[in-house]
Structure 1
Amino acid sequence: MHIPDGFIPLWQCAIYYVILIIALYFASKWARQNLDEKRIPLLAVLAAGIFAIMSMNMPIPFGTSGHMVGGALVAIIFCAPEAAVLVFTVVLIIQALVFGDGGITALGANVLNMAIIGGYTGLYTFKALKGTLGIYGAAGVGAWLATVLAALACAIEMAIAGTFPANVGIPSMVLYHVFIGIIEAVLTVIVIMALDKFRPDLLVWNKNKISEGGQ
């Protein structure tokens, strides 16, 4: 799903960079207000995990690459897409500069797809469904949908840029990520189940439950 340099014209990259700058402004405000010594290590661990899962990718014909993302996971755990913006900006810069995965000119587009679209989709799907599907079911659906929509956005951006025609690029990117999203959903549920069992204090939606239990 990483868009490399040269796949999108610079004038379009500039638009995505404006979106990135605005998103980073709000993300930095969120971080100052919400990150403390207990949650900073969790954010760092998630960033390392996301770096690892995004490194396992496969080339996609008429697309870029297929891989798990993790934007929904970060947004759901912190109950904030802003957390995903911070994580993915750092991870994508390192991947682009050190490993040549993705591009610096396309950084804004990549953060838009994986962190902003992925994060907001995952979190608000989770919020909408947790009353009916429960925490784990809602997290799984949110992670799957976030992966698919991020891939769809990537394909649309490349179609607008003229890199791949929409009638082949969109089906190619989406089809691969429909199946990749299933793996991502399972991984997301496993991580949230582990946190819910061993460190429920790190999950925002558990705060009221913990305080009521006197912990």
Structure 2
Amino acid sequence: MHLPDGIIPLYQCIIYWIITIICMFILRKFTSCEKEQNIVYIAIFTVLTFTLSSLSFPSPFGVPIHFFIIPLIVIIFGPVTGCAVSFFSLLGQFLILNMGGITVLGANFIVMGLILSIITYLIYRLFLEINEKLAIFVGTIIGIMSATFTQVIILLLSGTVNFNVILSTLIPFYLFISIMEGILNIMFITTISKIKPEIMST
């Protein structure tokens, strides 16, 4: 889902960067009020997300897939931590692995940080009173698909791709990933709740 440099007009990149900078200032205010332990979690999960989301896995679509990891972090630690981890992971992946780009980092953050974190958290909280596993699964799917549709809008606004091409490629591809990641998140969070229940209460 990493957009590369050059695919979005520069003036649009500037707008996305401005939004990202505003979000980071807000996140800094919230993070400074958090416990020191949560700052450590941000650092640890930034490394984890950087590593795991960089790995490729085979898929029935014939192209490798990458998992997001951010929904898992959001469900456990909340959207503020999810956004912070996403930003630093995206920055690290660009600097070290040349994934994404610097001009489009703002757009990538809005997609994989801001939208993914907020929507995942809201849907998770909405379904939590019904069933925790359902909340994890639905929150992950809707969060990833909301991020996907946000990327679709960004690409359409850039005028670089055709809507029919996006509809036939991105949507089914990320729907598959979201379902897989939703199932994995249920397994991970269930395990964490049994082994380290205090983490789920942070």
Q: Tell me, yes or no, whether TM beats 0.5.
A: yes
- The residue that corresponds to 1:112 in the other structure is 110
Name the counterpart of 1:87: 85
Residue 89 of structure 1 deviates from its aligned partner by: 1.1
Q: Structure 2 vs 1, CA of residues 7 and 35 (structure 1 numbering), >3 Å: closer, same or farther?
A: farther
State the Cα distance separating 1:52 from its structure 2 match: 2.5
- Report the AA paired with residue 109 of structure 1: A
Any conservation in 1 of the 2:31–2:39 contact (CA below 8 Å)?
no
Q: How many residues align?
A: 196
Deviates more, 1:145-154 or 1:45-54: 45-54
Conservation of the 8 A alpha-carbon contact between 2:116 and 2:144: yes
Q: Is the partner of 1:34 in helix, strand or coil?
A: coil
Moved over 6 A (4+): none
**Deviation at residue 57 of structure 1 after TM alignment:** 4.4
Structure 2: distance between partners of 1:195 and 1:18: 37
2:196 to 196, 199, 202: 199
Aligned pairs for 1:1-215 within 5 A: 1-37=1-37, 39-57=38-56, 66-79=65-78, 81-132=79-130, 134-204=131-201
Q: Is the 8 A contact 2:133 2:186 kept in 1?
A: yes
**1 CA distance for matches of 2:80 and 2:108?**
15
The more displaced of 28-37 and 119-128 is: 28-37
Equivalent residues of 2:115, 2:147 under 8 A apart: yes
Residues 128-176 of structure 1, C-alpha deviations (whole Å, 9 max, x = no match): 00111x2222012111111122122112211110111122213311110
**Which residue does the alignment assign to 1:212?**
none
Distance 2:97 2:126 in 1: 37
Query: How many Å apart are 1:199 and its aligned residue?
Result: 1.9
Give the distance between the partners of 2:81 and 2:173, measured in 1 at CA: 26
Identity among equivalent pairs (%): 29
Q: What 5-or-longer segments of structure 2 have no aligned partner?
A: 58-63
Distance 1:194 1:75, change over 3 A: same
Q: Deviations over 1:66-120 (max 9, x none)?
A: 53212222222112x1211211111111111111110110011111011111001
The answer to whether the 8 A contact 1:156-1:170 is kept is: no
Cα deviation, residue 50, structure 1 = 1.6
Q: Aligned partner of 1:128: which letter?
A: L
Instruction: Tell me the SS of whatever aligns to 2:8.
Output: coil
For 2:190 and 2:134, the matched residues in 1 are separated by 11
- 1:75 and 1:173 mapped to 2: Cα distance? 23
Contact 2:27 2:80 in 1 (8 A): yes
More displaced, 4-13 or 137-146? 137-146
Q: Name the CA shift for 1:46/1:113 in 2 (closer, same or farther; >3 Å).
A: same
1:25 CA drift (Å): 1.1
CA-atom RMSD in angstroms: 1.8
1:210 maps to none
Which ranges in structure 1 are unaligned for 5 or more consecutive residues? Answer: 59-64, 208-215
